[in-house]
Amino acid sequence: MQTRIEMSALATPKDQFAYWREIVCETWFGLWAERTDSGPFHATIELHGIGDVQMARAHLPEHRMGRSASEVARLSQTAYCLHYLHGGAVHGVYQGVEYEAGPGDLLLFDTAEPCDSFVITQPVQSTILHVPRNLLDRHLTSLNRTKVCVHGGDGMGALLSGYLVTLSQTISTLPPEAMSKAGSILCDLAAAAFQPAGSISSDQGGIRQARLATARQFVTSNLADPELSIGKVAAHLKVSGRYVQKLFESTGTTFSELLVSARLDACHQALTDLRQSRRTIADIAFSSGFNDLSWFYRCYKQRWSETPGDTRARTCGPS
C-alpha cells in the first residue's frame, strides 16, 4: 500500500509547515520540527509497506528536527530509523556524537533514544526505513552507539545502499509475497553495515541475497563488455570468484548461463524496438557483448526458436 503526502497542496507556507510539524513529524515519527525560513515548504513523502518495515521516499526542504525525552515518551512503538541520502546535506548531534552526512551516506537512529538535532542544510532527497526494534535487536546487541553514519560506497554500506536504491525504484512493482522477503534482507544488511567489523556473518541469507542482486545488476549494466567475467563481478563485490560462482549455482544456473541469457534478452528487446529498426543485427549483437556472430545466431535461435532476422521482420516489418 502506498501513501503520498505533498505539502505543496496546502494553501500557505504557514499551513504547509504546520501540517508537516504536527501531523507528519509529531504524530507519525515522534519528532519536533522548526525552521527560520517563512517561504514555501514543499516537502513530499511517499510511504510504502515492506512486510513489517516501512519505507519512505522523501524530498525535504531546509529545516531542523529532533527528538527529546517527551517525544520518546509519546511513541506507541519504538523502532530503528535508517536514512539513505541520495542528495543534499545534513548534520547534527545524536547521543552526544556530532555527525555530518551527504549523498551516498547512511544514518541509523534509535527512536527510543533522544536525538539532539537533525539539521537539513541543503534540500534532501532520501530513502528512509522505519524498522521495528524486534527485527534488528537480535543483531544489534553489541552495536557501537558512536557509529551513527556509514558511507554507502564502502563494504557493507555499499551493499546496503545498492539494495535500498534498487528497492526504492522497483517497490511499486513488487508482489505482496516479495515484501516480507525484501524487509528481511534489509534488516540483515542494516545490521551488518552498522555492526563492528567481524561481529556478524557476511554470509547470512539476507546478505547473500543482496550480493546476488548486486551481481545481477552489475552484469546487466556491463553487458557490452565482451570480457565480462566472474573475476570482474567478484572484484566489484570485493569477494572471491568462487563465492560468486556459488551465488549463481544456488539459483540453479551458472554465471555463464546467466550472462548469455541476459545478452540474448537485450538483443531481443533491441530487435523488437521500432526506434532501433535502423541498427544492424551485427551492431546489436556486438553492443550486447557477443563477439562471435555465428555463435550469437545459434544461441538466439535456440532461445527464441527463430533467427534475429525473423524477429525483426515479425515485429518491425520488412527492412
Band the pLDDT of 47: cuts 50, 70, 90.
Answer: confident
- Residue extents of the structural domains in the chain: 2-220, 222-319
Beta-bridge mates of residue 115: 67, 94
C-alpha grid cell, residue 232:
570482474
Contacts of 84 (CB under 8 A, 6+ apart): 105, 106, 126, 127, 128, 152, 160, 161, 164, 165
What is the SS3 assignment for 256? Answer: helix
Neighbours of 305 (CB within 10 A): 8
Element (H, E) at 267: helix 255-271
pLDDT digits (tens, 9 = 90+) for 62-99: 999 999 999 888 888 888 888 999 999 999 999 888 99
In this prediction, residue 142 carries a pLDDT of: 46
Cα dihedral sign, 33-43-93-160: positive
For 221-240, the pLDDT digits (tens) are 899 999 999 999 988 888 88
pLDDT given for residue 126 in this prediction: 93
pLDDT for 17 equals 95
The CATH fold assigned to 2-220 is Jelly Rolls (2.60.120)
219 pLDDT exceeds 70? yes
Mean per-residue pLDDT for 262-266? Answer: 95
Task: Measure Cα distances from 202 to 125, 147, 206 in Å.
Answer: 29, 19, 9
Taking each continuous run of H as one helix and of E as one strand, the counts in the chain are: 12, 10
Q: Is the pLDDT of residue 272 over 60?
A: yes
Are 123 and 61 a contacting pair, CB within 8 Å? yes
- In the chain, % helix, strand, coil (3-state, to 5) comes to 45, 25, 30
Q: What is the pLDDT of residue 61?
A: 95
Answer whether residue 158 shows pLDDT above 50.
yes
Confidence tier at 143 by pLDDT (50, 70, 90) = very low
Closest CA to 281 of 305, 256, 304, 313: 313
Question: What distance in Å separates the CA atoms of residue 176 and residue 68, rounded to the nearest whole number?
Answer: 36
The fold for domain 222-319 equals Arc Repressor Mutant, subunit A (1.10.10)
The identity of residue 179, as a single letter, is: M
**How far is it, in rounded angstroms, from Cα 117 to Cα 127?**
19
What are 276-316's pLDDT values in tens digits? Answer: 988 999 999 999 999 999 999 999 999 999 999 999 988 77
Q: How many residues does the chain have?
A: 319
